[in-house]
Amino acid sequence: MYEIPFLRPNLVKKERLLSNFEKIEASRIYSNYGPLNHLFETRVIAQMFGDIGAAVTVHNATLGLMLAISQSKRPRGKYAVMPSFTFAATPLAAEWCGLEPYFLDIEPDDWQMNRAQLRETVERLGEQIAVVVPYATFGSAIDLSIYDNLLQEGIPVVIDAAASFGTTVAEDAAQFGKGFGGAVVFSFHATKTFGVGEGGLVYSADQDLIQRIRRAGNFGFSSSRESVMLGLNSKISEYTAAIALATLEGFQVVLERRKTVIGYYHHELQQQDLLQRGWSVQNMQGRVPLQFFSMLSPNPPGNQEVIRRLAAHSIEARTYFSPACHQQKQFRSYPHSDLQVTERITDRIISLPLWEEMDESTVGRIVKVLGSITEENAI
């Protein structure tokens, strides 16, 4: 056991769930897009998306990606274009939809999908592209105008925004994704900022798209309960919906607390002068309630040595996403662009602990270890 673990999920306490649990017992409705699920979806659209668009809950974000891709993709296309610097769920979802991932590089500053490569790939592959799946890296907002243009060109877009629920953009402090005409998929896994245990949400300004996803997530049933399309079961239980409702009620407190912890990191990095000594951080867009704190280590020593040294001080850290997808056995055979930036970042990426109870001294302890590694490496 580490004295400072990587993550400490902190779901809502049982006292805040009892009233909705009583409603479930009274209604005897336990699943199948029940009344609490409907209430949660309605409140999310009102509170997070300004009453624009529609949303449907899913049992997890991987199912959300599968459903969104399956209901968006062009039938004659074969490729799902995406960054290699993403979680394995993204290319796996494409495979489940009968597509081949086509991996692109990322930008060196914001770690988002390389825009020049994307345009070149769209022009070169043309109708072979079934869908484009950008990743909102580590919860950051991304420039949606690029993907709005693709939608207007007839190219479907599904945004993997797994860690972006709670991320707001400066224009109107609205939830990232608001008004986007493609699908935006969020994760509610216990380790996310908005954690319910296991769950997710698919949002779009296109209400017809959400209706198709909802139907596909309920065995492809029509109103007469006849399966009329390819489907599966992605529904959440009413108990999960109860947790989600309670989480939404207290979400602003969580966001503010994470903002405070992120502030501790930036202060301590400045105190240790690490950003002037070979370390760097992602150029984030929007206000992002980080799931964890990501940095690029100097090279040398590289991320594996940093992980080892942190562990020696009883600090748990990870390396999201190293290896990148194109380096993993399942995906090595798929086509890809030049991935120099991705490969350079995967050698250096460090994912540092972030949880709501962290105080400034805990963050200071982590950053001081990074400082000592930097000093020893300079000798």
pLDDT in tens, 314-333: 999 999 999 999 999 999 99
Active site residue 23: no
Residue % of the chain over a pLDDT of 90: 96
28: left (phi over 0), alpha (psi -120 to 50) or beta: left
Which residue ranges form the domains of the chain, and what is each CATH number?
Answer: 14-249 (3.40.640.10), 251-378 (3.90.1150.10)
Average pLDDT score over residue span 295-317: 95
Average pLDDT score over residue span 250-273: 98
Choosing from 13, 14, 78, 192, the catalytic residue is 192
Find all residues with CB under 8 Å of 75, minimum gap 6, and list them.
130
158 with 131: CB under 8 angstroms?
A: yes
- What's this model's pTM, rounded to 2 decimal places? 0.97
pLDDT at 261: 99
pLDDT at 172 over 80: no
Q: What is the pLDDT of residues 103-112, one digit of tens each?
A: 999 999 999 9
Find all residues with CB under 8 Å of 141, minimum gap 6, and list them.
164, 167, 168, 169, 176, 284, 285, 286, 288
Average pLDDT score over residue span 260-279: 97
pLDDT at 155: 99
Q: How far apart are CA 51 and CA 46, in angstroms?
A: 4
pLDDT at 253: 97
pLDDT at 170: 76
Average pLDDT score over residue span 354-370: 98
pLDDT at 360: 98
Count of C-beta atoms within a 10 Å radius of residue 205 = 17
Q: What is the pLDDT of residues 108-137, one digit of tens each?
A: 999 999 999 999 999 999 999 999 999 999
What is the CA angle 106-108-111, rounded to 5?
50
- Two structure tokens written together for 50: 């300004």
pLDDT at 341 over 70: yes
pLDDT at 70 over 50: yes
pLDDT at 378: 60
Average pLDDT score over residue span 261-284: 97
pLDDT confidence of 379, banded at 50, 70, 90? very low
Q: What's the mean per-residue pLDDT of the chain?
A: 97
55 with 211: CB under 8 angstroms?
A: no
Residue % of the chain over a pLDDT of 70: 99
* β partners of residue 160: 135, 185
Q: What is the pLDDT of residues 173-225, one digit of tens each?
A: 889 999 999 999 999 999 999 999 999 999 999 999 999 999 999 999 999 99
